[in-house]
């Protein structure tokens, strides 16, 4: 029986060594260590042995079983390690390759430009004032020297909600509200950015919704030269130190005198080209001295207080500054267009 156990151990260890996969190893385990295996049969036949041999054969059988079991466990561990190593090799990630960059968003070009203009005027001591987009007819027109029936109202064809409520056509109502809140006391020094609405047909230069930034300064002894100084500083900061400005007489119901401001054409340096239509100048905004009637309606004494106001369209400024030829590009959300100004 001793010889049989030695023979079984040798056979089992050879088959363990020859096993190439987990199934073959499991078959060896079942064959030699299972309930119907030869080692179990040896143990069952010990009752036929003399009493003095039973402990020796029993100990030897247990040692053989333990040795085979240990060999199987060691071979299984090696197989698992080899399988893991193979998987790691097959699924290797080259960490030296550059990653795919995450595409990040950014402020819209108009948002960036409006913030730039705000920062510029804040540096001059102006504050930012905002107001409702759904506005009363009184603040949108009447408080700005545009009574009902005034022919100048035709210049701003409007979206009316009721006879007395409309979508504001400019941000000037914010100026009227701000002056009213100051109750006839100065100084008032604000810029009013925001969206406005007009019943325009959308094309390359017009939109039914666009943005405006209007400015207002009311105080004692405010002069036209103060207005020109502020606008000159704005033009040079926004379009370059080499830009020149000129003021042309114009008409706005809420200012008197009124002017249009032009800047020298950056394409031709004022020599005349197709961009400036041969004039050397490009219109950029409207301005003027606050009309005495507007001051009076807001509670100011026009004999004591004067002021100036100006209004500009950020879309027009962006189109001139960045060479954009169609206002609709700002609102169609074309990523190809927006990405050009991601860091503008």
Domain ranges (residues) in the chain: 2-85, 109-341
Mean of the pLDDT values across residues 53-69? Answer: 79
Tokens of 101: 């960059």
Per residue in 128-148, pLDDT (tens digit) is 999 999 999 999 999 999 888
Q: What is the Cα 120 distance to its own chain's centre?
A: 23
pLDDT at position 222 over 90: yes
> Does 315 show up as a binding residue in the annotation?
no
Rounded-to-integer distance, Cα 243 and Cα 74, Å: 85
27-41, 95-109, 132-146 — most confident range: 132-146
Radius of gyration of the chain (CA): 45
Q: What is the three-state SS of 251-273?
A: EECCEEEEEEEEEECCCCCCCCC
297 versus 36: the higher-pLDDT residue is 297
Give the pLDDT confidence score for residue 4 in this predicted structure: 74
pTM above 0.85, yes or no: no
CA distances from 92 to 81, 85, 89, 285 (A): 16, 10, 5, 62
CATH architecture of the domain with residue range 109-341: 2-Layer Sandwich (3.30)
Give the pLDDT confidence score for residue 295 in this predicted structure: 96
3-7, 107-111, 306-310 — most confident range: 306-310
Give the pLDDT confidence score for residue 343 in this predicted structure: 65
pLDDT at position 316 over 70: yes
Quick one: which of 328, 276, 311, 94 has its CA closest to 194?
Answer: 311
Instruction: Find the helix or strand (DSSP H, E) in which 72 lies.
Output: helix 54-90
Per residue in 254-296, pLDDT (tens digit) is 999 999 999 998 878 778 888 788 889 999 999 999 999 999 9
Instruction: State the virtual CA torsion across 166, 113, 288, 263 in degrees, nearest 10.
Output: -130
Mean of the pLDDT values across residues 47-75? Answer: 79
């Amino acid at each position: 029986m001793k010889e049989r156990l030695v023979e079984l151990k040798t056979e089992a260890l050879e088959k363990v060594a020859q096993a190439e996969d987990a199934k073959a190893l499991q078959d060896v385990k079942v064959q030699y260590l299972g309930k119907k295996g030869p080692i179990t049969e040896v143990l069952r036949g010990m009752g036929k042995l003399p009493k003095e041999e039973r402990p020796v054969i029993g100990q030897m059988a247990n040692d053989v079983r333990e040795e085979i079991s240990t060999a199987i466990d060691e071979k299984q561990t090696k197989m698992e390690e080899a399988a893991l190593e193979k998987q790691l090799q097959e699924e290797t990630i080259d960490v030296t390759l550059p990653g795919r960059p995450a595409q990040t968003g950014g402020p819209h070009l108009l948002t960036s430009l409006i913030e730039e203009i705000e920062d510029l005027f804040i540096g001059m001591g102006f504050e930012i004032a905002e107001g409702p987009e759904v506005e009363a007819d009184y603040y949108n027109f009447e408080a700005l020297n545009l009574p009902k029936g005034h022919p100048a109202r035709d210049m701003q064809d409007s979206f009316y909600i009721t006879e007395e409520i409309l979508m504001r056509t400019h941000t000037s109502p914010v100026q009227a509200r701000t002056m009213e809140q100051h109750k006839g006391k100065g100084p008032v020094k604000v810029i009013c950015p925001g969206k406005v609405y007009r019943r325009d047909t959308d094309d390359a230069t017009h939109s039914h919704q666009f943005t405006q930034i209007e400015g207002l300064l009311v105080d004692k002894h405010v002069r036209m030269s103060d207005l020109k100084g502020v606008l000159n500083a704005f033009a040079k900061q926004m379009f370059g130190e080499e830009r020149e400005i000129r003021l042309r007489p114009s008409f706005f119901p809420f200012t008197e005198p009124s002017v249009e401001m032009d800047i020298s054409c950056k394409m031709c340096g004022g020599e005349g080209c197709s961009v400036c239509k041969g004039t050397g100048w490009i219109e950029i905004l409207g301005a003027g001295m606050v009309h005495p009637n507007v001051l009076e309606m807001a509670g100011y004494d026009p004999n004591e207080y004067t002021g100036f106001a100006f209004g500009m369209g950020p879309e027009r400024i962006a189109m001139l500054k960045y060479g954009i030829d169609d206002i609709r590009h700002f609102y169609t959300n074309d990523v190809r267009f927006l990405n050009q100004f991601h860091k503008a």
